[in-house]
Amino acid sequence: MVRQWIERSLWDVVPRDHRQSARDLRRRQVVTASFVVLGAIVLGILLRLDQGSTEFVVFSLVLAAVWTVGAFASGPLHLGRIARHDLHHRPVLQPLVLGAALAGIFVLGALVVREIPWLADQVRGVLGFATEGYLPVLVLVTAVNGVAEELFFRGAAYAAITRRPVVWTTVAYTIATLATGNVMLAFAAVLLGVLVGLQRRASGGILAPIITHCTWSLTMLFALPVIFGV
């Protein structure tokens, strides 16, 4: 039962007709590449700002806007479906469970990492934002960025790549995260990228990746400060 559930969520590809003409594919690729450059510029500005500052929050939302506009400008996006009882349904419960499971794995990992000083410092560097801001704003920024990143990387970028899109979108997402200079964030990006990439491949849409990403990131927002005592 569990094996079938996992296969339907991550492996079994639901039939769909999302074909693009050569012209539409080329347009999507150009638009996506352009917004990657624009996003990199905004990210470069963001990384120079103090975490928790008003400017940091504003540019975090600007970056989310860049990813979102780029995703919709690139072409059609699909929510996706997964198989259940020989019918196809929108994925909601499955990505929630997978996001929570991934968060649980990270929580267990965090209990080990906090005993390794240089890795613990990497995590605490990320948590500066979580301890310096107003909680509702932090939740909003975390959720908005999670949605925007999936719209772009598992939406526009995935559809723009014709071969091994799970691999290459994970690589692209990890490279974007590496710009922060934080090893732990990059490691998280690899695991999250593979998981949501498989969901995108199986379901054919962005709904499952968005739900999983937001479930994971919001859980981490609340859990990690407690574990690391910040």
pTM confidence score: 0.91
Give the whole-number percent of the chain exceeding pLDDT 70: 95
Average pLDDT (132-141) is 80
Q: How confident is the model at residue 51 (pLDDT cuts 50, 70, 90)?
A: confident
H helices of the chain, in order, are: 2-10, 22-46, 54-74, 93-113, 117-132, 135-150, 158-160, 165-178, 183-203, 207-228
Which amino acid is present at 187?
Answer: F
pLDDT at 230 over 70: no
* 204 token code pair: 């054919």
Closest CA to 217 of 188, 195, 194, 190: 188
At 167-181, the pLDDT tens digits run 999 999 998 888 777
Q: Which of 114-118, 156-160, 208-212 has the lowest mean pLDDT?
A: 114-118
Among the listed residues 191, 187, 201, the one whose alpha carbon sits nearest the alpha carbon of residue 154: 201
**More confident of the two residues 192 and 47:** 192
pLDDT mean across residues, the chain: 88
Q: Assess contact for 96 and 178: CB atoms under 8 A.
A: no
Residue 205: predicted pLDDT: 94
Q: Which of 201, 194, 195, 95 is nearest to 158 (CA)?
A: 201
pLDDT in tens, 63-110: 999 999 999 999 999 999 987 766 788 889 999 999 999 999 999 988
- For residue 129, is pLDDT > 70? no
User: What phi, psi does 163 have (nearest 5°)?
Assistant: -130, 135
d(CA 177, CA 169): 12
- pLDDT of residue 5 exceeding 90, the answer is no
